[in-house]
Structure 1
Amino acid sequence: MSQQKVSLRSNGFTFKQFFVAHDRCAMKVGTDGVLLGAWAPVTGAQRVLDIGTGSGLIALMLAQRTGKTVPIDAVELDEQAAGQAQENAAASPWSERITIYQDDILRWVKTSEQRYSLIVSNPPYFSPGVDCATPERAVARYAADLTHDALLTCVESLITQEGYFCLILPETAGNKLLALAQQRGWYLHFRTDISDNERRPPNRVLLALSPKAGEPFHDRMTIRGPDQRYSAAHCNLTREFYLFR
């Protein structure tokens, strides 16, 4: 039993309703992806797209949160990660609803005939600089070819008029993307600033943008409380996913 537990910890992450293997992915299961998958507004979603799905984590979370007739499409550039995402999807309770595409979103968008009422992305955000351990990790971390301007261009051609585009970024990068999006005619609907605890300023931001105008809602969430335990807000947000909550 102990060897099995070690294997699960080293090769992937077990959630309440599914398991995500990530040993062949440059970017592992992490807090950012879980927050976005749990936070993105799914009410009324009719078709969902996950751009840069990696292990398939966010696609799986959104499959759990949406109805039985909602298709989930996910695009991943890296061949190894896309293959692992496909395996994770096939082993999940929602295998018939999740489709993984191994492709560059900049190329894939030109042939897609679908429109999506919810698009999510945990995008690259660093400018190319410090070398990464592998080229795959560099692609996952650095906004080189998939700049935020290019990402917005892709999403603009894929989203429905009343759809949401949701993403998580470091606060500085998030503010820059938000300003760029608003210049291009997007509207902010929801924003949650994330901080590690009450004493620290926000270091992450969750954004929900839409082509349709609306009154923005802005709040803040801390990951941990004064006792260093996970905060009530964080527990409530992730309750349906993390074990022992």
Structure 2
Amino acid sequence: MHQHAARAQTLRRNGFTFKQFFVAHDRCAMKVGTDAILLGAWSAALQNGRVLDIGCGSGIISLMLAQRSPDAVIIDAVELETEASMQAQENRLASPWASRIVVVNADIVNFAAQTTSRYALIVSNPPYFPPGSACRTQELSTARYTESLSHETLLHCAAMLLAPEGCFCVVLPISVASDFCTTACHQGWWVRQRLVVREKADGKPHRQLLALSKQAGACDTQALIVRADDGSYSCDFRALTNDFYLFM
């Protein structure tokens, strides 16, 4: 009884409680989900330099990377939707790393054209569906469909902003990852790391996490199974996300 009561006090509404921070997401079109958590935990952690989070939403990935990196690392979190950027700003201010995260309400195309910064790491959980059925809000449509940010444009902006030895990491559904890689190849990118994600061992892959570079080289491909046969989180998933999930 006492344990359940403690959990109820720890967990807040309208967001997601992690071990070291809380992410409110009630004003964001896309809520905190496994895709963002996987990307935030899997992307390379810097020891110094600058990070760019394209389409940061609630700021979840920026906060995870801030937790994983030392004080020398600064993170720019760019978000097009005003309400989402305001919520990311509030999440930043409520976190232990407020001084290291800069939230910018801007279109990434305009941001790329104006900034002089170059980034050792760029991350994005991007829109990935081609325009289709109408969403209930314009904000959800922007977050979900590539009409507002095509993959060609995303890759072009990342190329403009990435430092020469830098890395660009994304998470995508299996259904669009192949086309994304083809587009990236045509723009001179190399896929250097790939994580293929299955929900269970006997299931089909449903997500890919990709680390791209402008430096030529071979691709290291690994696999991750999220859940064991009994439905609990797998040992590999627990190891990857243990620093974040509250009740791991």
After TM superposition, the score normalised by the length of structure 1 is 0.96
Q: Does 1:105 align with 2:121?
A: no
- Structure 1, unaligned runs of 5 or more: none
Other structure's SS at 2:167 match: strand
Q: Which letter does structure 1 place at the counterpart of 2:115?
A: S
Contact 2:30 2:140 in 1 (8 A): yes
Report the CA distance between 1:8 and its aligned residue: 4.7
The 1:132/1:8 distance shift into structure 2, 3 A limit, reads farther
Equivalent residues in 2 for 1:6-155 (5 A)? 8=11, 10-155=13-158
Greater Cα offset, 129-138 or 16-25:
129-138
Deviation at 1:7, TM superposition (A): 10
What is the CA–CA distance in structure 1 between the aligned matches of 2:128 and 2:9, rounded to whole Å? 32
The residue type paired with residue 125 of structure 1 is: Y
Q: Which amino acid aligns with 2:128?
A: Y
User: In structure 2, how many angstroms separate the alpha carbons of the residues matched to 1:79 and 1:90?
Assistant: 17
Deviation at 1:214, TM superposition (A): 2.2
Deviation at 1:225, TM superposition (A): 1.0
Alignment check: 8 A CA contact 1:165 1:210 kept: yes
CA distance in 1, matches of 2:10, 2:27: 14
Q: Is the 8 A contact 1:45 1:118 kept in 2?
A: no
User: What's the secondary structure of 2:113's corresponding residue?
Assistant: coil
Q: Which amino acid aligns with 1:132?
A: C
Task: Give aligned-pair identity as a percent.
Answer: 49
Aligned counterpart, 1:186: 189
- SS in structure 2 of the partner of residue 129 of structure 1: coil
Following superposition, the deviation at residue 6 of structure 1 comes to: 8.7
Alpha-carbon contact 2:46-2:73 (below 8 Å) kept:
no
Query: 2:167 is matched with which residue?
Result: 164
Gapped regions of structure 2 (runs ≥ 5):
none
Q: Is the 8 A contact 1:13 1:20 kept in 2?
A: yes
Secondary structure of the residue aligned to 2:204 is coil
Q: What is the distance in 2 between the residues matched to 1:211 and 1:45?
A: 20
Q: Following the alignment from structure 1 to structure 2, what is the Cα–Cα distance between the partners of residues 175 and 8?
A: 38
How far the C-alpha of 1:148 sits from its partner, in A, is: 0.1
Aligned to 2:212: 209
AA at the equivalent of 1:21: A
Q: What secondary structure, in the 3-state scheme, does the structure 1 residue paired with 2:123 have?
A: strand
Corresponding position of 2:199? 196
Q: Is the contact made by 2:48 and 2:72 (CA closer than 8 Å) also made in structure 1?
A: no
2: CA distance, partners of 1:6 / 1:124: 34
Q: For 1:155 and 1:49, how far apart are their aligned partners in 2?
A: 9
**How does the TM-score come out when normalised to structure 2?**
0.95
2: CA distance, partners of 1:7 / 1:45: 33
- Of 91-100 and 213-222, deviating more is 213-222
For residues 71-90 of structure 1, the C-alpha deviation after alignment (integer angstroms, 9 at most, x for no partner) is 00000001000000000001
2:91 & 2:235 partners in 1: Cα distance?
A: 30
* 1:167 counterpart letter in structure 2: V
Tell whether 2:239 aligns with 1:236.
yes
User: How many correspondences in the alignment?
Assistant: 244
> d(CA) in 1 for partners of 2:8 and 2:185?
46
Q: Which residue identity lines up with residue 154 of structure 1 in the other structure?
A: C
CA distance in 2, matches of 1:144, 1:207: 22
The one-letter amino acid paired with 1:151 is L
Aligned-residue CA RMSD (Å) = 1.6
